[in-house]
């Protein structure tokens, strides 16, 4: 893939996001310094509001189980059990701005002031106005499923449950949820010895790599982004825990089919 090192790149992420940190490390390995890093420090009141919405959507028990994964590390840091230092964003860019909301006006103003060409979403949360209103830069995201068929969250597991081979779709972001024009879509085949959690991690790492690749690709690589027909798919939400056993079984079957196909 031909690279254009003249692009001014911005990375948008959330503090403590391993994915955002991984994207920044990948850029550094490629010798690329983002012109701007925007970091959301999601305040506690917003986290609690998100938790309440989750209860309404998937029920109290599942919401508690999902939130334990977030709140336990926060608690460990608060009481001093986890002494992992905060990620040093300043090592990766001379311009780092933090705010309670990734869509805060000062975030959009910084993108304009720095003359950003490509905005990379690295687990930043949903992007809204005024960032979407900025004229010029591509806002790029990688989605771990085939678009337009499967939008939303937990889509690796939903893909497996429905017998659809997992994929990574690179797309331009618009005002919808994973509805923007598609730049690339690549199927990711599970390895015979892989556990589900290992496969999910690998898919997300490949997604980060593709995000970096796309950020450096010249316009000749993606001359005509493919617009989606959202009627060809649907939006998925967090998967109820009661379905996870079926996902594990579907994953085992998918691996056997892939192995048999490879042996032919």
pLDDT, one tens digit per residue, over 150-193 is: 999 999 999 999 999 999 999 999 988 999 999 999 999 999 99
Domains of the chain: 9-263 (3.40.50.12230)
Average pLDDT in the 233-243 region? 92
**C-beta of residue 110 within 8 angstroms of C-beta of residue 149:** no
Residue 215 or 36, more confident: 36
* Model confidence band, residue 66 (pLDDT cutoffs 50, 70, 90): confident
Q: Which residues pair with 140 in a beta bridge?
A: 120, 172
Q: Compute the average pLDDT of residues 16-22.
A: 94
Two tokens, residue 105 = 């006006």
pLDDT of the residue at 21 = 97
Say whether pLDDT at 259 is over 80: yes
113 Ramachandran zone, left/alpha/beta (phi>0; psi -120 to 50) = alpha
Q: 62 is written with which tokens?
A: 């599942």
Mean pLDDT of 246-263: 89
The pLDDT assigned to 256 comes to 92
Question: For 112-136, how does the pLDDT look when each residue is reduced to its tens digit (9 = 90+)?
Answer: 999 999 999 999 989 998 999 998 8
In the structure, what pLDDT confidence band is assigned to residue 5 with cuts at 50, 70 and 90? low
pLDDT of residue 69: 72
Encoded tokens for 25: 């490390």
Q: Is a pLDDT exceeding 90 seen at residue 62?
A: no
Instruction: Print the SS3 string covering the chain.
Output: CCECCCCCEEEEEECCCHHHHHHHHHHHHCCCCCCEEEEECCCHHHHHHHHHHHHHHHCHHHHHHHHHHHHHHHHHHHCCCCCCCCCCHHHCCCCEEEECCCCCHHHHHHHHHCCCCEEEEECCCCCCCCHHHCCCCEEEEEECCCCCCEEECCHHHHHHHCCCCCEEEEEECCCCCCCCCEEEEEECCCCCCCCHHHHHHHHHHHHHHHHHHHHHECCCCCCCCECCCHHHCEEECCCCHHHHHHHHHHHHHHHHHHHHHHHC
| pLDDT beyond 70 at 103 | yes
What per-residue confidence (pLDDT) applies to 219? 65
Residues whose CB is less than 8 angstroms from the CB of residue 103 and which lie 6 or more positions away in sequence, other chains included: 127, 128, 129, 130, 131
Q: How far apart are the first and last CA of the chain?
A: 31
Contacts of 157 (CB under 8 A, 6+ apart): 196, 200, 239, 243, 244, 247
* Residue 42 near residue 74, CB atoms below 8 Å: no
Q: Which of 245, 251, 234, 264 is nearest to 166 (CA)?
A: 251
pTM of the model: 0.90
Q: Which residue has the higher pLDDT, 58 or 93?
A: 93
Q: Which residues contact 212 (CB under 8 A, 6 or more apart)?
A: 23, 26, 27, 30, 32, 120
pLDDT at position 70 over 80: no
């Amino acid at each position: 893939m031909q690279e254009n090192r003249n692009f001014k790149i911005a990375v948008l992420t959330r503090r403590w996001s391993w994915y955002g940190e991984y994207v920044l490390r990948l850029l550094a390995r490629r010798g690329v310094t983002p012109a701007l890093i925007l970091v959301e420090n999601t305040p506690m009141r917003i986290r609690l509001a998100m938790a309440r919405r989750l209860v309404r959507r998937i029920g109290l028990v599942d919401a508690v189980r999902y939130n334990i994964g977030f709140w336990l590390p926060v608690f460990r840091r608060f009481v001093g059990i986890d002494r992992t230092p905060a990620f040093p964003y300043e090592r990766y860019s001379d311009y780092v701005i933090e705010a309670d909301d990734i869509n805060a006006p000062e975030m959009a103003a910084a993108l304009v002031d720095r003359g950003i060409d490509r905005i990379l979403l690295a687990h930043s949360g949903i992007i809204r106005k005024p960032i979407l209103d900025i004229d010029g830069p591509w806002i790029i995201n990688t989605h771990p499923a085939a678009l337009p068929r499967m939008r939303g969250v937990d889509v690796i597991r939903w893909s497996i449950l429905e017998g659809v081979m997992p994929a990574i779709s690179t797309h331009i972001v618009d005002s919808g949820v994973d509805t923007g024009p598609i730049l690339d879509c690549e199927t990711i085949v599970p390895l015979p010895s892989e556990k589900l959690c290992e496969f999910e991690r690998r898919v997300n790492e490949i997604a980060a790599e593709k995000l970096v690749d796309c950020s450096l690709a010249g316009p000749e690589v993606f001359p005509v982004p493919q617009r989606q027909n959202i009627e060809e798919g649907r939006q998925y939400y967090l998967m109820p825990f009661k379905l996870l056993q079926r996902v594990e079984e579907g994953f085992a079957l998918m691996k056997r089919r892939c192995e048999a196909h490879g042996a032919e």
